[in-house]
Amino acid sequence: MKSWGAIIVGAGIIGLALAIELNKQGLRVLVVEKGEPGREASWAAGGMLVDSPAETRRELQELAKASARMYPEFVHELQDESGLKIDLRSQGTLLLSRAETRQSPGGTQQAHDSPLSLAELEPALQELDLQELDLQAGQGDATRFTAQFLQERCVDPRDLTAAAVAAARHRGIDFSSGDHVLDVEVADGKACGVRTNKTRFAAGVVVNCAGAWAGQIGPHPFPTRPVKGQMLCVVMPEKEMVRHVVRAPEVYLIPRSDGRMLIGATSEEAGFDKRVVPETILKLRQ
Ligand SMILES: Cc1cc2nc3c(=O)[nH]c(=O)nc-3n(C[C@H](O)[C@H](O)[C@H](O)COP(=O)(O)OP(=O)(O)OC[C@H]3O[C@@H](n4cnc5c(N)ncnc54)[C@H](O)[C@@H]3O)c2cc1C
């Protein structure tokens, strides 16, 4: 049986990045992917590189900060090795939160003053009724938002995964696509390879990077679950009409440098159902 230094199960951004890193350290690496490399969550994502303490669980904050710091160099290396361009934007994010409201003497709700002027930062949004960004608000609700500027980057995940696959191939990393790993094989208490629906591969190291499916691979299943997200992609009337990522409580806008803008995303407990539901997309569009 052919043998590798390391086998990575799953060619999402996690598996690809790890495969490249292990290859740099001199290991012969095989990536086993049940479908096509880079076409699951890592392809569908928005690409916001979030590290703000308000939105990151405390135990993950250090990791999120370190990861966000390393991203420009990571992207630069992938571009160099793949020859492909990756859209990495550093314009920052406007984080909108529902303003605390207080009862005015007249009995109507008022918002505290916004610390930043959204109209100055994103003139295109000044005409927008921000209530539209509040899917929870009912007709006539007077929700106000405060805007906070975050020095955060955002990447186009499709560029990123395509470049990571090309860079990995360029480095001589092997791929076995359309090959479904059923279990990790263990000898003397140590991983020694994988069994797939087609064959077996041997390696001294096996890393399960199978994302939402990771828990399905034996012999030691651990709890993972998929969370479904649907989003809408529109073309802006002019490139850079919206420059910042805009994140409101129920919806976010992610501009891309080619003039597209993503409006996302739902967060649904729908198992592995990947169908796009027209009614949901319409709701995002309104
Ligand atoms: C709509 C949406 C928007 C998102 N937006 C953001 C965002 O803005 N910012 C952010 O940081 N994150 C975002 N995420 C989350 C992000 O996409 C994931 O955290 C990330 O892509 C996970 O990468 P991964 O490599 O672990 O998983 P995946 O990309 O899913 O890769 C796992 C791979 O393993 C393969 N695989 C599974 N089982 C097997 C098996 N048995 N044998 C062989 N191969 C197998 C799969 O086919 C897949 O290719 C978003 C997710 C969604 C759905």
CATH number at residue 188: 3.50.50.60
pLDDT at 132: 53
* Sequence letter at residue 77: E
- Cβ 153 vs Cβ 89: under 8 Å: yes
222 in a domain, yes or no?
A: no
Tokens representing residue 100 in the block? 């605390």
Q: Is the domain of 163 the same as that of 182?
A: yes
Measured from the CB, is residue 32 less than 6 Å from ligand 1? yes
- Cβ 99 vs Cβ 137: under 8 Å: no
47 in a domain, yes or no?
A: yes
Measured from the CB, is residue 137 less than 6 Å from ligand 1? no
pLDDT at 137: 47
29 in a domain, yes or no?
A: yes
Measured from the CB, is residue 33 less than 6 Å from ligand 1? yes
Measured from the CB, is residue 11 less than 6 Å from ligand 1? yes
pLDDT at 102: 44
Segments in the chain below pLDDT 50: 101-114, 135-138
Full residue range of the structural domain in which residue 264 is found: 93-150+228-285
Q: How far is the CA of 101 from the centre of ligand 1 (A)?
A: 38
- Cβ 171 vs Cβ 81: under 8 Å: yes
Q: Is the domain of 212 the same as that of 162?
A: yes
Among 216, 244, 268, the domain boundary falls at: 216
Bridge-based pairing of strands 29-33 and 3-9 is: parallel
Q: Is the domain of 177 the same as that of 73?
A: yes
Q: Is the domain of 29 the same as that of 62?
A: yes
pLDDT at 115: 53
Q: Is the domain of 239 the same as that of 146?
A: yes
pLDDT at 160: 98
Q: Is the domain of 126 the same as that of 209?
A: no
Measured from the CB, is residue 128 less than 6 Å from ligand 1? no
Among 216, 249, 266, the domain boundary falls at: 216
Q: Is the domain of 7 the same as that of 34?
A: yes
pLDDT at 269: 96
For residue 83, the Cα-to-chain-centroid distance in whole angstroms is 22
pLDDT at 97: 84
Of the candidates 277, 161, 278, the residue with the CA atom closest to the CA atom of residue 228? 277
Q: Is the domain of 10 the same as that of 99?
A: no
Q: Is the domain of 137 the same as that of 99?
A: yes
Count: domains in the chain: 2
221 in a domain, yes or no?
A: no
